[in-house]
Amino acid sequence: MRFDIVTIFPGLFSGIFEHGIVRRAQAEGRVTVNLYDLRAFTHDRHRTVDDRPFGGGEGMVLKPEPLAEAMESLGIAPCARRAPEDGTRVILLSAQGIPFSQSVARQLTAVDRVVLLCGRYEGVDERINQLYCDMELSIGDYVLSGGELAAAVVVDAVMRLVPGVLGNEASGEFESFGVPDAEIATDEAGVPRSQHGAGGLLDYPHYTRPVEFGGVAAPPVLLNGDHSAIRRWRREQQLRKTMANRPDLLERAALTDEDKRILDSIGWKKY
């Protein structure tokens, strides 16, 4: 999978993609991340990428010509001239975009190439969005000073779902925000076999050595080797954490009868 990032600050990415799973995925040739300096597509002495907004008002706007030239140099034609299934998605990072989520990240793994346009100042001339972009993505309800951190978030979240990037192929599915409508395999006692956030729940809490830290002991159930009891405890923790921090996720989570019973016992009123 290939990511192309167009930005006025390519230097902002140095370091971000040089560590951990992202670095390994690139070293193994599973993903490629290319950075393109928008100023390379200007033709004036000052390498100007911005201009004053029509209609007046605060700030500057990224002008369309360098962005369009960057797109053409990457072989990206305007949407109207692109084949609908050409394997490329052009994304404008924008506070006005649709919310980026694990499910959008999952959808993006279906394409071969993701092109990310990073805005700056008051944003990008809207005609670039209209002419070249397949979607506008926001990483949250707050305003960043540029699209670079948002682009890095999208690359990281999508890349780790590319097959082979995580050691265990299934692990992406079993984290927080795992597929909500996935079939939940249960054992004979109705306890889900999944070890993480499958079913659209948040992940359960994790512990490692030492057994006691800061006067707090790790939950004894995790130390006794009873795997069915451990799964049951983890599932209950997922339900508790999701109810406390993200009750909205419970509305669309795939829940077993046992889950509903646990939720009942901890005060979830829906069932």
Strand pairing of 2-7 and 32-37?
Answer: parallel
Binding flag, residue 147, ligand SAM (CB under 6 A): yes
29 Cβ contact partners less than 8 Å away, ≥ 6 residues apart: none
Residue from 5, 118, 133, 158 touching ligand SAM (CB under 6 A): that is 118
Q: Is 14 exposed, middle or buried (0-12, 13-18, 19+ CB in 10 A)?
A: exposed
Residues making up the chain, counted from first to last: 271
Q: Which is nearer to ligand SAM, 65 or 136 (CB)?
A: 136
Residue 62 C-beta: closest distance to ligand SAM, Å: 7
Q: How far is the CB of 87 from ligand SAM (least distance, A)?
A: 24
Task: Choose the binding region for ligand SAM from 28-36, 43-51, 121-129, 160-168 (rule: CB under 6 A).
Answer: 121-129
Interaction between residue 119 and ligand SAM (CB under 6 A): yes
Q: Which is nearer to ligand SAM, 128 or 184 (CB)?
A: 128
28 vs 2, 32, 241, CA distance in Å? 13, 10, 36
Does residue number 7 form part of the binding site for ligand SAM (CB under 6 A)?
no
Residue 218 vs residues 7, 154, 177, 197, 231: alpha-carbon distances, Å: 46, 34, 25, 20, 16
16, 74, 95, 135: which one contacts ligand SAM (CB under 6 A)?
95
242 and 266 Cβ atoms separated by less than 8 Å: no
Least separation in angstroms between residue 78's CB and ligand SAM is 20
Q: Footprint of ligand SAM on this chain (CB under 6 A)?
A: 93-96, 118-120, 122-124, 138-140, 142-147, 150
